[in-house]
Chain A
Amino acid sequence: MSVEAPTSMSADITTRIEVAHRESGMPTPLVGMLLFIASEVMFFGGLFAAYFNARAGFVGEWGPPSPAPELEILPIALPLTVILLTSSLTMQLGVWAIRRGDQGAMRFWTAITLLLGISFVAGQLYDYSTLGFGISDGVFGTVFYTLTGFHGAHVFGGTVGLTILLARATQGQFSARNHVAVEAISIYWHFVDVVWIALFTTLYFLR
């Protein structure tokens, strides 16, 4: 009985099953985060489609139902934008820091980002209280609150992620070679910022 095949095989097969932490290419958790973000893009896409559909068919002046005032970028919306854009910068500074292995700086910038994120959510809630119309005041109210509300919820989710990052960083769990969670959360945070830019432009400029 020939046993050539098996023995030549075993010499051939030095496959160590180590695929969970491949050396090459993008780390798997980042792949996962990017895919998740793709799905979130489609989710917001659906909501934006509803917005544009409603706007295209609307008879009359598109905007907050009277007597509520028109949407203005001051005093709230523009500062919120600045806050969120800044937070993306601080987030990235944190990522760069940990890539260098600078745990202290990473903790600092992450904390700043978290504060800015919380400020955004608080600011958004405050904005809601000043607007003078609600989700049940016609289709403009509905799409406005749904879009900004889900965005705000995503920012809130991001702050939860940042809190976890901060907690883990405080315990020294990140290093220059091992910080994929920071990269992943930072990508999510930038995504949330990009969605805001699209929202802000659509609601306050395109109108």
Chain B
Amino acid sequence: MATTTLEPRAETYSRSWVIDWLTTVDHKKIGVLYIVNSFLFFFAAGILALVIRSELAVPGLQFLDEPTYNQAFTMHGTIMIFLFIVPVLSGFANYVVPLQLGAPDMAFPRINALSFWLLPLGGLLIFSGYLFGGAAAEGWTGYAPLSNGVYAGGVGTDLWLIGLTLVGTASILGAVNIIATVFKMRAPGMTLMRMPIFCWTVLVTAVLILLATPVLAAGLIALFIDRNYGGSFFDATAGGHPILWQHIFWFFGHPEVYIVILPAMGVVSEILPVFSRRPLFGYRAFVFATIAIGLLSFSVWAHHMFTTGVVFLPFFAFMTALIAVPTGVKMFNWMATLWRGSISLTTPMLFALGFVTMFLFGGITGVMLSAPAVDFHLQDTYFVVGHLHYVFFGGSVFGVFAATYFWFPKMTGRRLNERLGKVHFWIHFIGFNLAMFPMHPLGISGMPRRIADYSPDAGWTLWNLVSTAGAFMIAISILPFLINVIATFINGERVGDDPWEANTLEWATSSPPPPYNFDKLPPIRSERPVFDLRHKHDLEHLSPEERP
């Protein structure tokens, strides 16, 4: 039973909850809006994944024609990246960062609301292509000249461009908010090096968004001008060049993948210490590794273009291999946090461990791809699709579920059922590996990506069938999750401020927090103020080195 002296939902005046949620500028409500909206898009893009995998299960075109298939994988990638994974992590950042900083809200609450509402608008615009003759169908990367007015006539691609520009703008505004909040609104005593690691990863992510997304916007606008105003940015017959698109796109596109992974790494770095009862090993190094990844991420983009023949290969190969070093340091930090800990395998912990083990695989395949000669064989094959799903899904999506289970009690005052959570995790984990692992042998043997169909003589049928089974298994695993969420809302176990015995400031207020977040704050002398408070007397006997 929560017994804080605070009234959790002290209302100053009553109004309908619909208007309340539509007009809120409270970062907590906006965070929830982000998360719910993102999950809706997740399900939509997930259905598209099932459509794709159903078609690819066996050779022959059973359900779709090629144009429909091409729209399916284009929409799947676009929605998953721009309308699910980045916004859902933004949602958690929105909710958690001000709390972890001991602040009452974000720096710019109204811009925060604007940032959110641009998302469903942008997403609907992108999807609306289906109503106007076909959605965009050139892959989420939209390479010119395939995406220009000649080869991709029809308004679907234009709607895609406009929708993405809106979504990108939302992102940029959100990044401004996060950075201003981190630098201006930390509670007294919270130096940058005492800031929770999640806030650090979100900060670096926000810097990446701030600097990379505008470049995408420039590219999207340039393509729109080519398509609609007779522009020649990418038209080789009029002085332009198709490769310009790839440079602009990937200059954004590579930092984008770090935008997707860093917050999830932050989530994992919060969860592992709580459920190992040890601090994050090497906090300082982790911060520097995060900054290093952020910087390096701007120097590797052309590794997506190795096979174009126009790239200075040694530089990009070197920088790409180099970025594995700070990533590896993080891996070691997590491992050392577990070592000699006291580990409790709650659902959030399981998903966090799932992240670490699956992201490792994706990271390794990435290093394999960094060698241009190897990339010449594997680029544009299912090996890359497998790689990206291990880092995006095995990494970020696992991180998202870890965050969901971890912070759900804080957001709702109720804890999700552990048994259902574990069922969700194991079906999800097994399904994920069944779905994505086969993509590696498929790609290695030469199966290209973005093909609607393949020859029965290629020897690809069995792995494709396994992958499809895995995809459906992932879909099934969502059921215990949804049941859990709904049942918990109806009648879930209520919890107090700190059900997990966690470390950071969000656990020093009620669940859910009051609108103004905190009435009082504990002293902040490390990155684990709530832990310090809890163990003030326990740790007095420890040596100075071991004390927080």
Contact = CB atoms under 8 A, between A and B. Distances in A.
A and B bound? yes
Interface of A: 5, 9-10, 12-13, 15, 17, 19-20, 22, 25, 28, 31-32, 35-36, 38-40, 42-47, 49-50, 53-54, 57-58, 134-136, 138-143, 146, 150
A21 to B, nearest CB: 10
Nearest to B516: A17
Given A35-B179, A42-B215, 9 more contacts: A5-B537, A13-B521, A17-B518, A35-B175, A38-B211, A50-B248, A58-B239, A135-B230, A140-B239
Interface in B148-192: 172, 175-177, 179-180, 183-188
B86 to A, nearest CB: 16
Nearest to B178: A35
A146 B244 contact: no
A38 B251 CA distance: 16
25 contacts: A15-B521, A17-B102, A17-B104, A22-B185, A31-B183, A36-B172, A39-B172, A39-B176, A40-B214, A42-B210, A43-B214, A43-B218, A46-B215, A46-B248, A46-B251, A47-B222, A49-B218, A50-B222, A53-B244, A142-B233, A142-B240, A143-B233, A146-B221, A146-B222, A146-B231
Given A5-B537, A9-B522, A146-B221, A39 B210 contact: yes
Contacts of B179: 31, 35
A50 B244 contact: yes
A38 B176 CA distance: 10
Contacts of B248: 46, 49-50
Nearest to A12: B523
A165 B514 CA distance: 36
Kindly name the residue among B176, B247, B521 whose own CB sees the greatest number of chain A CB atoms within 10 A: B176
Q: Is the interface of A mostly helix, strand, loop or mixed?
A: helix
B323 interface: no
B219 A46 contact: yes
A134 B232 CA distance: 11
A46 B301 CA distance: 14
A54 B239 contact: yes
A50 B521 contact: no
B188 A15 contact: yes
Contacts of B222: 47, 50, 146
Interface in B191-233: 210-219, 221-222, 225-226, 229-233
Contact of A46 (B185, B217, B523): B217
B180 A139 contact: no
Given A35-B175, A142-B240, A28 B107 contact: yes
Contacts of A43: 214-215, 217-218
A146 B147 CA distance: 19
Nearest to A56: B241
B340 interface: no
B218 A19 contact: no
A35 B180 contact: yes
Interface of B: 102-105, 107-108, 111, 172, 175-177, 179-180, 183-188, 210-219, 221-222, 225-226, 229-233, 235, 238-241, 244, 247-248, 251, 516-518, 520-523, 533, 536-537
Contacts of B231: 135-136, 142, 146
Given A43-B214, A139-B239, A19 B184 contact: yes
Nearest to B183: A31
Contact of A28 (B184, B211, B221, B536): B184
A41 to B, nearest CB: 8
A54 B244 CA distance: 8
A32 B521 CA distance: 26
The 6 nearest A-B residue pairs measured at CB: A136-B230, A46-B218, A139-B239, A43-B214, A42-B214, A46-B215
A10 B244 contact: no
Contacts of B185: 19-20, 22, 28
B213 A135 contact: no
B215 to A, nearest CB: 4
B212 A42 contact: yes
A146 B188 contact: no
B522 A13 contact: yes
A24 to B, nearest CB: 10
A26 to B, nearest CB: 8
A207 to B, nearest CB: 15
B214 A135 contact: no
Contacts of A150: 221
B241 A35 contact: no
A42 B235 CA distance: 23
A38 B232 CA distance: 27
A5 B218 CA distance: 56
A17 B518 CA distance: 8
